[in-house]
Amino acid sequence: DLFAALITEQKIVLVSSQHSILTICSEILCSLLFPMRWSHLYIPFLPKMLCPMLDAPVPYICGVVRENWGHAQEYLASD
């Protein structure tokens, strides 16, 4: 459940073929927390060269464009 992952501060990766959808969905997730706020790593659109950040040991919300998804999966930890 996406909302449960958000509330329990889990790692969340959004994948879309459209850059604008990633940003909109990331912002919507953050707004669902109101009156609280997301205080962890937040990158609505993660460039390919920053995909190693997906291996970070902290909670995050990151958006990955579909063309970079294969590259990004290499860095996802098996948490």
pLDDT more than 90, % of the chain: 94
pTM more than 0.85: yes
Which DSSP category does 50 fall into? G
Query: Could you tell me if 6 and 29 are in contact, meaning their C-beta atoms sit under 8 angstroms apart?
Result: yes
Is residue 48 scored above 80 in pLDDT?
yes
- pLDDT of res. 78: 61
**Which of the four pLDDT bands, split at 50, 70 and 90, describes residue 72?**
very high
Query: Could you tell me if 75 and 55 are in contact, meaning their C-beta atoms sit under 8 angstroms apart?
Result: yes
Query: Over the range 13-38, which residues count as b (16 or more CB within 10 Å of their CB) and which as e?
Result: ebbbeeeeebeebbeebbeeeeeeeb
